[in-house]
Amino acid sequence: MNLKNASAAFALLGASALVLSGCAAAPEAEPTASSTATATESEAPAETVDFLACAVSDEGSWNDKSFNESVMDGLMLAESQLGVQIGDAESNSSEDFEPNLQAMVDANCDITFAVGFNLVDSVNAAAEANPDVHFVTIDGWSNGATNLKPVGYNMAESSFLAGYVSAAHSASKVVGTYGGIQIPAVTDFMDGFYYGAMSWGEENGVAVTVVGWDPVAMTGDFMGDFTPNSGVSKSIAAAQIEAGADVIFPVAGFQFGAVSEAIKEAGIDGAMVGVDKDIALTSPEYADIVLTSAEKRMTAAVYDIIADLVAGAEFTGDYYIGTLANGGTGLSPFYGFDAAIDDATKARLAELENGIIAGEIDPKAVNY
């Protein structure tokens, strides 16, 4: 009796195993050409283009409300606007980089974006091994492969402006900044912020203090990782508020929940400066304390690169550097804080911006 039941169970299992193994003779059993066309699943726009844009994430998921997400937004924008197909793979650790990039090569991607400096070795190797496949490395560099286009940002430029306006807005004349990990891609923001704030102080003859980063000694406050809204993040923000800071610039992905909690718990009339995206727009729940944001407009860069290629332009391995001049980076509007910032400061900001664009002002030095 028992045995009969058991064999029945096995028959069932056998059947389900057959269904699962995918070797049954269904028409879709071999997704040959369709493996290159992910977007065919969703209702693709009427005029789809035969172009597959792919991306491999840095450690972390696409919806990190920061770095990775900006790139994915660019891909999705290209999907809806240009009708291209997209493919993607998330990396959980450095071990995933190579297999993920290889999967993109195997899927015959027309272009593959490798997000983050962590992938720089893997993407250079992939580019050298596949000379006729086009790659883009964001925040990385090319070791010589011409089929690899580096995309970088001079984030110090917009962060300089952010530091300037933060110092102007601060009541205590103490502003704070902290980072995720002490790497150039992070400290670039913090350098600009520091010198921007100091420049305002020199200009106005007021002593301004920046807590959390000293660009000369290269020491400051860092979380040790990029975990969104972590407890560490909140305690750093709280410590900086304790030290008198009332404007905080967290350069560590999405820390705006943590900073906003720290500000509210301290009961001060504080503000924070967003990074990467226009935080007042993307996270309206914090808009009332977002002074402005130093945007790293990767979405636009990704979209533009795809759009150029779809339009028939030749792929080049030339550097793309996002600057104030080409709009790759910039300050977000002040929204609710617009009235709180006087016209003289705004005029001076415009002047500084033009100075940086013209190359007369170095955002990594005190200017006045």
Contact positions vs other proteins (CB under 8 A): 2-3, 5-6, 9, 13, 16-17, 19-22, 26, 28-32, 34-35, 38, 41-42, 54, 59, 87-90, 92-96, 98-100, 102-104, 106-107, 117-118, 121-122, 125, 181-184, 187, 224
How many whole angstroms separate alpha carbon 59 and alpha carbon 207?
40
| Residue 152 vs residues 285, 300, 304: alpha-carbon distances, Å | 30, 13, 14
Rounded-to-integer distance, Cα 94 and Cα 335, Å: 40
Least Cβ distance, residue 39 to other proteins (angstroms): 8
Contact in structure between 58 and 64 (CB atoms under 8 Å)? no
User: Measured from the CB of residue 288, what is the shortest distance to other proteins in angstroms?
Assistant: 34
Nearer to other proteins, 150 or 330 (CB): 150
CB count within 10 Å of CB 343 equals: 7
Give 32 or 314: the residue with its C-beta nearer to other proteins.
32
159: how many CB neighbours lie within 10 A of its CB?
A: 32
Give the pairing of strands 271-276 and 247-251.
Answer: parallel
- Smallest gap, in angstroms, from Cβ of residue 33 to other proteins? 9
Residue closer to other proteins, measured from CB, 118 or 292 = 118
Question: In whole angstroms, what is the distance from residue 236 CA to residue 230 CA?
Answer: 10
Question: In terms of CB distance, is 146 or 219 closer to other proteins?
Answer: 219
Judged by CB, which is closer to other proteins: 36, or 293?
36
Would you state the structure tokens that stand for residue 36, as one six-digit string? 């290159």
Nearer to other proteins (CB atom), residue 98 or residue 202? 98
Can you say how many angstroms the Cα of residue 18 is from the centroid of all Cα atoms in its chain?
43
Closest distance between other proteins and the C-beta of residue 20, in Å? 5
Residue 249 Cβ vs other proteins, minimum distance, rounded to whole Å? 19
Q: Where are the alpha helices (DSSP H) in 66-206?
A: 67-82, 97-106, 120-129, 155-169, 184-204
Closest CA relative to residue 250, chosen from 216, 273, 283? 273
Measured from the CB of residue 151, what is the shortest distance to other proteins in angstroms? 17
Q: Least Å distance between CB 131 and other proteins? A: 15
Q: Which CB sits closer to other proteins, 19 or 313? A: 19
Shortest distance, CB of residue 299 to other proteins, whole angstroms?
20
Structure tokens at 85: 């197909």
Which residue lies nearer to other proteins by CB, 14 or 333? 14
Give the Cα separation of 292 and 152 in Å (integer).
22
| Strands lying side by side in the sheet with 174-179 | 209-211, 174-179, 247-251, 271-276, 290-296, 329-331
